[in-house]
Amino acid sequence: MSRPLPRPTADTRHFWDGCATGELRYQRCAHCGEVQLIPRSLCSACQHADLEWHRSGGQGRVLSYTVVHRAPTPAFKDETPYIIALVDMSEGFRLMVNVRGGGATPLAIGQSVRIGFREIEGMALPEAQVLE
Ligand SMILES: [Zn+2]
């Protein structure tokens, strides 16, 4: 069974194109300054459509995480255990992301991570790497 992958839409294509070139991109509202990721056509704070794309420096801290021991579908059974983390990025947006190294990775709330990319079936997906 092949792994389900994200399907870029008109709103998210620029984000996924960035991943393919090693850039983590996010949106900032030119009207109110709010930053957001998941990409949308409107600002999640003020609903203006005047959104700009920016490149993240890739630095963040773990807000929370979970270790997945039971695969949600057969496509993930060879990957368990793995970690999914919520990461607060230094630019102010929040990212849900897999953690490199799987379930054996030592991780803690507040841990510094850097976002890199992992290629799966031709698609670059963000993943967090623990910083010492
Ligand atoms: Zn706004």
Q: Where in the chain is the domain with CATH 2.40.50?
A: 57-132
Share of the chain above pLDDT 90, in %: 86
Share of the chain above pLDDT 70, in %: 99
Residue 126 in this model has a pLDDT that exceeds 80: yes
Q: How many angstroms is it from 36 CA to the middle of ligand 1?
A: 10
Biggest distance spanned by C-alpha atoms of the chain: 45
Residue 115: exposure state from Cβ atoms within 10 A (0-12, 13-18, ≥19): buried
**Residue 115: its H or E element:** strand 112-120
Q: How many angstroms is it from 88 CA to the middle of ligand 1?
A: 19
DSSP-based three-state secondary structure for 15:
helix
Residue 56 in this model has a pLDDT that exceeds 90: yes
Q: How many angstroms is it from 67 CA to the middle of ligand 1?
A: 34
pTM of the model: 0.92
Q: How many angstroms is it from 34 CA to the middle of ligand 1?
A: 5
Q: Looking at the domain covering 57-132, what would its CATH class be?
A: mainly beta
DSSP 44-85: TTT--S-EEEEE---EEEEEEEEEE-S-SSGGGTTT-SEEEE
Q: How many angstroms is it from 40 CA to the middle of ligand 1?
A: 11
Q: pLDDT, tens digit, for every residue of 8-39?
A: 999 999 999 999 999 999 999 999 999 999 99
